[in-house]
Structure 1
């Protein structure tokens, strides 16, 4: 035994710590997957019968949409192999205002201000936010956080609901 101290530096990718492995054959439509280092929601899974008939594995063809930019991505993985799966976290915030630089000002549950989030790129959500603020509606936005990125994924009008 030696008295030396050993220090090990982590060689793992920072993205890898925000995901977990899951067998490709168990991932279903509506689930989450990482394709090309992007957190995605699975739109459809195909397992073509003509692939893997003889000596190769049965393959899963994933069609997914990127959580942040909305681009469609595809990947083909053998069903017995592991894929990285993102673990998204959903948080609700009260929308206060929109800044000139395109970011939004949000109020957290504890009463703190969060102003580091950009407006959504989706035209429908952007219009809903802008129209809601113009009509002085009380809006709550749901922010999805996955793999270190955040994006507004839903908007709710709570103007007519009582909070007490």
Structure 2
């Protein structure tokens, strides 16, 4: 049975990214830069010189930390692209340093910490307004975190 579990884990890990040529990437796509899942904010191509092919310069922002990364690839290089999943959950409350959030199917989660920075302030502000709201949770490459909030009323319409 242990062998089956190991196979499943390696299969699951293999699905966290897929390959795409650097030339095929565009602004707002996701890509792995310096082993971090990033959203592309700037991308440019330079013509090849006497001894080399065209290069693609990619600037991306880490989807979890907001850190900026930059890398240069040959245009035909296969870049790793993370499979990014987004789910909206209804915010229920805070308990013991984690958020209580509910999925559309009614299932509850108690394992995500409140975000830091601007998104954390946004969550706190919405809590104080005492109106229902949703948190958007993004997951990829074994990480997940809250990246934004929105009003629950506008989602129901």
Residues 63, 163 of structure 1: alpha-carbon distance in 2 compared, 3 angstrom cutoff: closer
Q: Unaligned 5+ residue runs, structure 1? A: 1-8
Deviations 1:4-33 (A, max 9, x none): xxxxx87x7975431000000110100000
Q: Secondary structure at the match of 1:127?
A: helix
Deviations 1:90-130 (A, max 9, x none): 111000112342x211011221211111222232x212211
Higher helix share: 2
Corresponding position of 1:27: 25
Corresponding position of 2:94: 98
Residue of 106, 114, 127 corresponding to 1:133? 127
Write out aligned runs for 1:20-59 (5 A): 20-49=18-47, 52-59=48-55
Corresponding position of 2:57: 61
Residues 59, 14 of structure 1: alpha-carbon distance in 2 compared, 3 angstrom cutoff: farther
Asked whether the equivalents of residues 90 and 152 of structure 2 are also in contact (C-alpha less than 8 Å), the reply is no
Asked whether the equivalents of residues 15 and 37 of structure 1 are also in contact (C-alpha less than 8 Å), the reply is no
| Alignment RMSD | 2.2
1:109 to 2:104 alignment:
yes
Asked whether the equivalents of residues 22 and 76 of structure 2 are also in contact (C-alpha less than 8 Å), the reply is yes
Q: Unaligned 5+ residue runs, structure 2? A: 1-5
